[in-house]
Each structure stands twice: as C-alpha cells, then as structure tokens.
Amino acid sequence: MMLVINKSQIFEHFAGRSTSLLKRQIEIWLQTEANQELYFQWLIEWENNFPVYDPQIEEPLNRFSQYMESGFRDLQRAHLKEKRFLPSRWLAAAVMILAISTSAWFGKDYIQYQTFETGYGATKTVALPDGSTVTLNANSRLRVPRFAFGKRSREVFLKGEAYFVVSHKKDNMQFRVGTPKNMDVIVLGTEFNVYAREQDTRVMLHKGKVKINYPFQNSVREVMLKPGDLIGYNKKAVPEIKSNVETDRYLAWKEHRYIFEDMTLSEFGQLLTENYGLHVEIENDELASRTLVGSFKAENSEELLASVTEILNLKVTRKGNTILLQSN
Amino acid sequence: MPDLFGLPPSDDHNISFLGVLKSESENFEAVDRKSENSIVDSEIFIRKAFETDVALGCKLLFQIYYKALCNHAVRIVYSREVSEDIVADVFCSFWDHKAYEQINRSYRAYLVTATRNRCFNYLKRSRYKDLPIESAQDQEASASNLPERIMQYADLSRRIETLVSSLPPQCQKIFIMNRFEGKMAKEIALDLNLSTRTIEVQIAKALAVIKLGLKDYWLELLILVQSTFLSGHSWILT
C-alpha cells in the first residue's frame, strides 16, 4: 500500500497536533528516502513560516566567513566561553547536572536489575525467565538482571534466605548465587537453600551437586557439596561442612514450619528479628540460654511466640516491635 | 574570500543574492510538486556554487538555513544562545570535515540531522556529565535517518513544550526571559520588580519541572542503551 502524507498533515505534526495514528503513518511514510527528503524540505519551510524567534544572522555569518578564511575556531570558541560562564547559567547548569546525575545514578540499578523483596513474615515464590524458581523467606531480597539473564549467564544476588530450584540447561549454563559475604553458589541444575543474613551465611544442598566459592585468606577457594551437606562459617569464621544434616529442618520455613533442635532462646530471638522484624529482649542470660526442641507450625509471629512461650512458660510483654521475655 | 562575482562580501550583496536564490528555489519546488521524485534538485543552485567555490556554497547554506535551524534547535535546548552555538558548530564542522563532498542526499537533510544530533548530545551531556564528548565527525557520521530516529525529535520537543507550558504563568515568563531572551536573573528582577533570589528560585523550579518531566523519557532511552550494552558484555556482581 502506498501511503500518502501531505504537507498540511506534516505541518500539523510539527505543530504538535498529530494523533498517534498520524505519527505512526508518518513513521511508515518516512521509510522511503524520497519521503525523508520531502520531510526535511517541509520542516525547513515550516520553521521559516512559524519561527519561535528571529535570530540575528549578520554577526554569526561574519564569524563563520572569518572562520572559513582563517581556520581560527578560537574566534567562535572564545565567544562561546565568555557566554557559557555567566553565573546564572553556570548555576542552573550545575544544579541541573547534579540533580540529573544523581537521579541517573539511582536509576541505574533499577534499570539493570529487577529486585524481588519480601517483607517481615511473608514468603514469596519467584519464577525466573530460565524456568528456575526461587522461594524467598521473610525479609529477603533477590536481585536479578533484567536483560542478560539466561542469555550468556545466570547470575542472581541474594540477601536473606531462599530456596532455589534451578532448571538444568542443555548447554550446561551455570547458575550463580552471589551473597553479601562473597560466598557464591555455582550450580548447573539442582535444589538448595541459601541463608545469607548479617549473622551468618549457610548453604544447604537438597538435591544434585553444587560448587561453593568462598573467600579465604585473600584467595577464593572452592568446595563441592553433596546432598545433605550444609556449609556455614564456624566461630573462627572458617567455612565448615556438616554432612547428612536433616534437610527438612532447613526447608521447613517454606511450609511455615519451624523445627528447633536445641535452639537457645537468644537464637530464637534472632529468628524473630530476621523474619518478623521484632526486637527481642530477654530478662537475663540464664533465660537466654534455655533451649527449645520441637516442630512448630505457625503462620505468623503471634502464633509462633504463643507456642514457644507456652512451652517454656514465659511471660510476654509486647510494646510496638519490642518484645520482652521473662520467666513466669 | 574571493566572491563568485568578484564583489566584496557586503550585507547588501548577500541579501540580494539570497533573494535571487529564494525565488530560484521556489521555482524548483514548484517543479517538484509536479514530479515528486526530484526534491534534491531544489538545491541545485547551491550544488553549482559548491562546484566553483566551496566557501561560497557554505555561506549560501548558512544564509538559507541558519534561521530555520536555530528555530529548530531551540525547541529542544530551550536557549537561544545554546541553539545558535549548536548551529554554528554544525556549519564549522561541515567546513572542517569537508562533509559537503560526501553528501548523497540534500544539504538540508544533512544539516537538520546534524543539528538534531548535536541537540540530543547537548541534552545527554547535561544529564550525564562524564559522557565522553563525541568527535564532531562521529556525530555527523551517525546521521543515519531511521524513521523512528526522525520521529524522536518531534516527540521530545513536544514533551518539552508541554512541560514549559505547564509551568505557572509567572514561572514560565521568568524562565523564558532567562533562556530565550538571554536575560540574567538580575535584569529580570529589575524588569519585574522582584528580588533576584525569587527569580533564581523560579528558574531553578522551571528546570526541575522539565527534568522531572523528562525522567521517563531518559529511562526509555537508557533502557535502549543499556540493553544493547548488556547484551555485549557480561555483567559483574558487586
């Protein structure tokens, strides 16, 4: 179909009165070079007919002629400089540059990455474009690149806790999980749990095989995990592997279950902080070292607290997000 | 510079010459309307001038297109002095790089595209101050005329126009006095009987509105740039 655009339509467009439909038609019409020429010809005509202002041409033309004769760009540059540094302009430019570059800086992460977040007490399952799924525990963040993901590499970044079910790719493309303390999990296709919070970083392998890269004395070391292996940092900050752990215990959070094996009350307080954003104060050290054993199902912090305090016979005082635990 | 007619270049002479040229080009355009495929020929007169005297050709182009180009640029850069600088730069670079030798379409298509590219770059540079200043040649060389690219300019100028007209009347007046009439805050303050500080605040406010209004536009542009960038480079986790 030959599309015909006439001058008055183009003029409407230049005047900012074109509809989206007309714009689209002009875009198609512009695919022909002859039409592009016509477009530029009409543009000049329109600018001459409807000028915003009337520029003085004599002086610039003389400068241009002089420039062609002498080749001295300085003539013009000097004029530019002298004008460019007027204070008001300079100030406006500085303000603009500052404001714009900060917004661009903050915008950069937003553009490159998509971030999935869970609030306190919430879990969320995220399907990634490569077919992998990630279940985020409460108070966790997963950052995924928007554009390159799954094309050449699969790299995500986790802060918090999440269970990964990674799909295996035909070309054996690696899937890498980065964590704040630089312990990286590298896999081909498998299921595993990553715990990466302020206090500790742990990886528990459920199925398949994964490689862990971790920083050790200024170098990066690697170690392979078998199913049921748990890697974490010990008290001397050296990574340690525990074999044949009860995998359920590390995955229970997905079903809102909590399995405690000799968990001290202070560790329990830490769990409440991580998952529910609560600040827990314990009456004294003796009480803080009492331990919990058992499996609890709780949909929220109230239910969990209620079960635990009932077993240990504690008195709970809640004030906003602060919880005080005392012996009864 | 030797003139085609051996006359010293005086303003009178230029103007009368331009008069002749205008009526000539109008004649050519009249012809074009009948045979819609020889549009480039409306510049045949200038082409002839380039054959005998390149400097004269450049001067003629400057005379014919300078005003229109300044008006075109000002719709985006919203400052008379910046737009005039940009257009003058386009012509200097046109001369420096002997761009007239490689033109395979009309001079005007080249000049408009070069002006538009410089306007885009000016805006980009004021946004991202570390952006390397591209060499003039790169700018002109990238004058590829994809339809989307051509449409982009009208789109951006419309956005800016809408933003400026959305400003409160006083703010708009001050902004235009400053950017268009090239008046400094002090002069405007005298004219309007307001304090210099008020004027400065109003100008900053106008700039902020425009900046905010163009945020989405830059995001779109950035996504385009970033996606091409990312597909070529593997990224590193921090």
Q: What is the 3-state secondary structure (H, E, C) of chain A?
A: CCCCCCHHHHHHHHCCCCCHHHHHHHHHHCCCHHHHHHHHHHHHHHHHHCCCCCCCCHHHHHHHHHHHHHCCCHHHHHHHHHHHCCHHHHHHHHHHHHHHHHHHHHHHHHHHEEEEECCCCCCEEEECCCCCEEEECCCCEEEEECCCECCCEEEEEEEEEEEEECCCCCCCCCEEEECCCCCEEEECCCEEEEEECCCCEEEEEEECCEEEEEEECCEEEEEEECCCCEEEECCCCCEEEECCCCHHHHHHHHHCEEEEEEEEHHHHHHHHHHHHCCEEEECCHHHHCCEEEEEEECCCHHHHHHHHHHHHCEEEEEECCEEEEEEC
A-interface mutation test, from B46, B98, B150, B224, most A Cβ less than 10 A away: B150
The pTM score is 0.47
Give the minimum alpha-carbon distance from A208 to chain B in angstroms, rounded to a whole number. Answer: 25
Beta carbons of B237 and A151 less than 8 Å apart: no
Beta carbons of A40 and B180 less than 8 Å apart: no
Q: Answer yes or no: do A240 and A180 share one domain.
A: yes
Residues of A in contact with B203 (CB under 8 A): 88, 92
Cα dihedral B58/B116/B143/A58 (nearest 10) = 0
Cα–Cα distance measured from residue B18 to residue B22, given in angstroms and rounded to the nearest whole number: 6
Q: Answer yes or no: do A128 and A175 share one domain.
A: yes
Q: Answer yes or no: do A215 and A277 share one domain.
A: no
Q: Answer yes or no: do A197 and A132 share one domain.
A: yes
Q: Answer yes or no: do A135 and A241 share one domain.
A: yes
Q: Answer yes or no: do A118 and A239 share one domain.
A: yes
Give the minimum alpha-carbon distance from B140 to chain A in angstroms, rounded to a whole number. Answer: 16
Residues 58-87 of A with CB under 8 A from B: 58, 60-61, 63-65, 67-69, 73, 76, 80, 83, 86-87
Give the minimum alpha-carbon distance from B98 to chain A in angstroms, rounded to a whole number. Answer: 11
Residues 181-220 of A with CB under 8 A from B: none
Which of B85, B211, B235 comes nearest A148 by C-beta? B235
Q: Answer yes or no: do A227 and A120 share one domain.
A: yes
Q: Answer yes or no: do A242 and A312 share one domain.
A: no
Beta carbons of A27 and B151 less than 8 Å apart: yes
Predicted local confidence at residue A169, as pLDDT = 80
Q: Please report whether residue A59 resides in a domain.
A: no
Q: Please report whether residue A228 resides in a domain.
A: yes
Predicted local confidence at residue B128, as pLDDT = 53
Predicted local confidence at residue A39, as pLDDT = 93
Give, for B187, the enclosing helix (H) or strand (E). helix B185-192
Domain enclosing residue A151, as ranges: 114-247
Give me the count of residues in chain A: 328
**Which 3 state secondary structure label does DSSP give B78?**
coil
Residue A197, φ and ψ in degrees, nearest 5: -120, 180
B-interface mutation test, from A29, A61, A110, most B Cβ less than 10 A away: A61
A320 close contact with B: CB closer than 8 A: no
Q: Which residue of chain A has the CA closest to B25?
A: A41
CATH number at residue A210: 2.60.120.1440
Q: Please report whether residue A239 resides in a domain.
A: yes
Predicted local confidence at residue A45, as pLDDT = 92
Q: Total domain count for chain A?
A: 3
Which of B42, B204, B222 comes nearest A92 by C-beta? B204
Residues of A in contact with B231 (CB under 8 A): 147-148, 151
Residues of A in contact with B21 (CB under 8 A): none
Q: Please report whether residue A89 resides in a domain.
A: no
CA neighbor of A240 nearest in space, from A206, A200, A267, A287 = A200
Torsion region of A277: left, alpha or beta (phi above 0 gives left; psi -120 to 50 gives alpha): left
Beta carbons of A88 and B200 less than 8 Å apart: yes
Q: What 8-state DSSP symbol labels residue B142?
A: T
Give the minimum alpha-carbon distance from B234 to chain A in angstroms, rounded to a whole number. Answer: 7
Q: Answer yes or no: do A216 and A274 share one domain.
A: no
Provide the sign of the torsion angle of the four alpha carbons A263, A266, A270, A272, taken in this order.
positive
Give the minimum alpha-carbon distance from B191 to chain A in angstroms, rounded to a whole number. Answer: 16
Q: Answer yes or no: do A299 and A234 share one domain.
A: no
Domains of chain B, start order: 1-145 (no CATH), 166-238 (1.10.10)
Q: Which residue of chain B has the CA closest to A60?
A: B88
Predicted local confidence at residue B39, as pLDDT = 47
Give mean pLDDT in consecutive 10-residue pieces for chain A, a chain of 328 residues: 83 89 91 89 92 89 86 46 48 75 66 82 86 89 82 86 87 85 82 83 85 79 84 76 82 82 85 85 86 82 84 84 85
Boundary (domain end) residue, out of A195, A227, A247: A247
Beta strands at A113-117 and A133-136: parallel, antiparallel or unpaired:
unpaired
Which of B1, B85, B178 comes nearest A65 by C-beta? B1
Distances (CA, A) of B31 to A144, B38, B152: 60, 9, 31
Q: Answer yes or no: do A289 and A167 share one domain.
A: no
Q: Please report whether residue A86 resides in a domain.
A: no
For chain B, residues with pLDDT lower than 50 are 1-40, 129-139, 141-143, 224-238
Give the minimum alpha-carbon distance from A44 to chain B in angstroms, rounded to a whole number. Answer: 6
CATH number at residue A274: 3.55.50.30
Residues 253-292 of A with CB under 8 A from B: none
Give the minimum alpha-carbon distance from A308 to chain B in angstroms, rounded to a whole number. Answer: 39
Boundary (domain end) residue, out of A189, A220, A247: A247
What ipTM is given for this predicted complex?
A: 0.72
A296 close contact with B: CB closer than 8 A: no
Q: Please report whether residue A215 resides in a domain.
A: yes
Beta carbons of B204 and A95 less than 8 Å apart: yes
Q: Please report whether residue A189 resides in a domain.
A: yes
Boundary (domain end) residue, out of A247, A271, A296: A247
Predicted local confidence at residue A52, as pLDDT = 85
Q: Answer yes or no: do A242 and A284 share one domain.
A: no
